[in-house]
Amino acid sequence: MPREATGKTGSPSERRMKPERPRDRLGRPLAWGATNELELEEYDALTLEQNHELGRAHARAGEWFAAHEAWETAWKQARNTADAEFFKGLSQMGAGYVHLLRGNAHGAETLLRRAAGRVGAYADGHLGIRASALRDKLLADASRVERGALVPGEDARFSRPDV
């Protein structure tokens, strides 16, 4: 979906729309003209609650880049609220699993640990998520990556966190 180009002057109707660069299913940019493998919602047009539910739905489906994007938008929408760090943690979880599937062990381990620390600071049931169980799952997956028991790559095998 095209988005408005930044840095343009004039009314919105006078602004040119910049086409989105095609991406693979893990969110990596593809060459211009390639077939887009990833359709993303217009997160900025949605409410914080809608983005949170989209993040949950994408995570349950194993669509980690889309989950990350939804929760990152929710985090921005929640700035200066008590929920901001929670959404930042969920966004980091999504990014951590993207790094895992892209083969980046360091990025996966680092982001899963950061996500665990943020999410784990909230009470169980916060915004429908069992925070302590999610924290434990994220720490366990980070430890598995560190030990080499969870090998990063597109074929990485892990159970999805309950969100």
What's the pLDDT score for residue 19?
A: 62
Tally of CB atoms within 10 A around 95: 25
pLDDT at 20: 81
* Residue 132 pLDDT: 98
Residues of the chain with pLDDT under 70: 1-19
Q: Which of 124, 101, 127 is nearest to 112 (CA)?
A: 101
In 3D space, the residue among 69, 132, 128 whose CA is nearest the CA of residue 98 turns out to be 69
**DSSP letter for each residue of the chain:** --EEPTT--S-GGGSPEEPPPPB-TTS-B--TTSPP------GGGS-HHHHHHHHHHHHHTT-HHHHHHHHHHHHHHTTTSTTHHHHHHHHHHHHHHHHHHHT-HHHHHHHHHHHHHHHTTS-TTBTTB-HHHHHHHHHHHHHHHHHTSS--STT---PPP--
Nearest residue to 97 via CA among 56, 152, 50, 15: 152
What is the structure's pLDDT at 8? 35
pLDDT value at residue 15: 35
